[in-house]
Amino acid sequence: MKDIFKKLGAVGSEYAPIPFWSWNNRLEKDKLLAQIRDMKAAGMGGFIIHARTGLTTEYLSEEWFALVEACLDEAKALGMNAWIYDENGWPSGFVGGRLLEEEENLAPYLVKEERTEFDETAFAVFEKTGAGLRRLQKGEVSGDGIYHTVYVRRSPANTDILEPKVVDKFLALTHEEYYRRFSERFGKELVGFFTDEPQYFRWATPFSYAVAELWKKEYGEDIADRIIDLFYDDESTYPFRVRYYTAMNTLYTENYYKRLYDWCSAHGCKLTGHSVEESRLFMQMWGCAGCTPSYEYEHIPGIDNLARNGSAKLSARQVGSAAGQLGKKQVLTETFGCSGYDVSPRELKAIAEKQYVHGVNLLCHHLYAYSLAGQGKTDHPPCFSPHMTWRKQFPEFNTYFTRLGWLLANSETCVNCAVINPLSSVYLKYNRFDEAAAARVDEAFDKLQETLNRYGILYDLVDERLLRGYGCVQEKSLKVGKRAYDFVVVPECENLSAFTKEVLEAFVENGGKIMAAGVPLYTDGKADEWEFLHSDTTFEEIASKGKIRLETDGRAEYTYRKGDGFEF
């Protein structure tokens, strides 16, 4: 025990909080350097330079880079870690507006209209027949006189991050410009880049011409032939919907996150950040069709947790599970934003602890403001700069989370139960303008999580994409990357993938224990039988084989972890 206390007393800056440092006014070098020294005195391990609302110094100008250089010098002198937020505002990917100047960079989306004549400018036109919707070609007439017409529009405010050429432009105009000036600092005082809420167009049915290219390459089909299936809730449309949103997520993960990750790895620095709307399954459809796969392509996976009552039971457990499976030592949370100026230190501590208990271990305060002038006063408070009211106690707060972060980063959750993530069931009936069916998947999953919690069961979530990449059955265990599970819980869901079915069937055949809260009706969107799937264990048995004995009201948060020479 003395050994642990000694180690906790000497935890390095890599585990200490790194706040968003909002550069939100006319910047002055002396004030910037003074604020770095203030952050050091407050127990912060570094900072994330974040161009933000109110900034009048030109973003990515020579003056900007000169100020960044001065801050890097100060970070090096003080032994602090500097990170660069990769955008001016958010979401990441538009280079402060520069990429929005060219139409080919803009994010596409789909709209459907019913017309009385064939429109040659449309992406695709359909007629309704007794056998369903059929695509019409130029010159064909709709039998009932109604033309179900799908158009591609582009958002003037968003870039198409699913398109590799757009992401390459983003890297060239942002990351390459930092590397050109500071290459010798990469991986040293300049640790890496923070990417924030990258997303396809979230306010309608998303699209990208990149998905049309993938469709042709992977399936040999013209995606326009069945694009209408995204707008009608019918069992015949389910296979297309599952394939479509799986493809969108693949492009999001590989053409954005993997591209940035590979660039950072090749240039000796790290990538962290987070996707948008991680707290609910159906809300993940708003920007990426699933957050978890992107964690594979972050050196430090991250989440966002806003406001006082934000629930982390899904978002933090998702990222904590994936990090454990992928062997990622650190997990970041951008947190506290929108909690208000009147939030107490006790409330902030509880907000962070509810995330740390699920595997988060690196704190990013939202927000350390350069200035409170203008919109700085109302920019998603609280504020953790010298304007805060409990400044004298702030170092103690940060030291606590630095030490807690070290304990968690240097230990593993003692978990023997895997819960399959039911996100693909959301794909079946997802409609951006009527999300009731999608939200019901969350409602059922919430109840399952509460049940597991009440029984004192420690569990990981298993994403189907990560399962496909890292999963296999070994004897009576399901292995996903670096984690192995003796029990698998299948949630109430309508759809899972063919690979997931194959793995679960092998798990059952090998004598693995399954708790089936529900039995899927579809495999990759096609009606299917899952005869092999039935419960051969109980929640009581799963709990009895775990590391802890605990019954709760379903709201308590807990964990059990083991490190080198310690467990807690």
Q: State the residue for tokens 């591609």.
A: 152
pLDDT score recorded for residue 454? 93
**Distance (Å, whole) CA 223 – CA 523:** 21
**Distance (Å, whole) CA 331 – CA 34:** 29
Question: Is the separation of the CB atoms in 484 and 491 below 8 Å?
Answer: no
Over the stretch 147-200, which tens digit does the pLDDT of each residue have? 999 999 999 999 999 999 999 999 999 999 999 999 999 999 999 999 999 999
pLDDT score recorded for residue 240? 98
pLDDT score recorded for residue 167? 98
Sign, CA torsion 356/361/367/368: positive
Phi/psi region, residue 316 (left: phi>0; alpha: psi -120 to 50; beta: rest), is alpha
Helix (H, G, I), strand (E, B) or coil at 98: helix
Beta strands, E only, 72-206: 81-88, 106-115, 124-129, 132-136, 147-159, 190-196, 205-206
Over the stretch 381-409, which tens digit does the pLDDT of each residue have? 999 999 899 999 999 999 999 999 999 99
User: What percentage of the chain carries pLDDT values higher than 90?
Assistant: 94
Sign, CA torsion 314/319/320/324: positive
Q: Is the pLDDT of residue 237 over 90?
A: yes
pLDDT score recorded for residue 2? 66
pLDDT score recorded for residue 1? 59
pLDDT score recorded for residue 387? 86
pLDDT tier, 311 (very low <50, low <70, confident <90, very high otherwise) = confident
According to DSSP, residue 253 is labeled I
pLDDT score recorded for residue 10? 83
**Distance (Å, whole) CA 413 – CA 410:** 10
pLDDT tier, 551 (very low <50, low <70, confident <90, very high otherwise) = confident
pLDDT score recorded for residue 300? 98
Q: Is the pLDDT of residue 275 over 90?
A: yes
Over the stretch 480-523, which tens digit does the pLDDT of each residue have? 999 999 999 999 999 999 999 999 999 999 999 999 999 999 99
pLDDT tier, 565 (very low <50, low <70, confident <90, very high otherwise) = confident
Mean of the per-residue pLDDT values of the chain: 96
Q: Is the pLDDT of residue 93 over 90?
A: yes
Helix (H, G, I), strand (E, B) or coil at 248: helix
Q: Does residue 9 or residue 224 have the better pLDDT? A: 224
Helix (H, G, I), strand (E, B) or coil at 154: strand
Check whether the bond before 91 is cis (ω within 30° of 0).
Answer: yes
pLDDT score recorded for residue 384? 97
Q: State the residue for tokens 């000169």.
A: 66
Q: Is the pLDDT of residue 308 over 70?
A: yes
Over the stretch 446-465, which tens digit does the pLDDT of each residue have? 999 999 999 999 999 999 99
pLDDT score recorded for residue 183? 98
